[in-house]
Amino acid sequence: MRVGARDPRVAALVRSRLRREFDFSEIVGSPRPKFLIAADRDELTPLKTMQRFYGLLTSAELVVVDGADHLFDGRGARCVTQSRLFGDFGDRL
């Protein structure tokens, strides 16, 4: 992610999980579009953590997968297709 935030060949950044030990400062400051995917029952990266990170970003989208855990699995998790998850994000790059 840090390399992609600086590399002019990278059109957008996509992230589904946050690790506390990772330095996100270059991503926060990057002008590239960002697409975040969160699970509302994630026990390792709580939704509130992802929402706080999302609040620091410019040109970002956040999609929450209802009923999913850290591995985007779990009881009640809906089947998520790539097209439904990303919508038209790729078309707008």
pLDDT of residue 55: 93
Residue pLDDT, tens place only, 3-27: 767 777 877 766 666 666 567 788 8
* Whether the predicted pLDDT of 58 surpasses 80: yes
pLDDT of residue 79: 53
Write out the H or E segment, with its range, that includes residue 86.
Answer: helix 82-86
* Domain residue spans of the chain: 2-81
pLDDT of residue 40: 87
| In CATH, 2-81 is 3.40.50.1820 | yes
DSSP codes joined into one string, 4-58: HHH-TT---EEES---TTS--HHHHH--S-EEEEEETT-SSS-HHHHHHHHHH-S
| Percent of the chain with pLDDT strictly greater than 90 | 6
Question: Could you tell me the pTM of the whole model?
Answer: 0.68
* Whether the predicted pLDDT of 75 surpasses 60: no
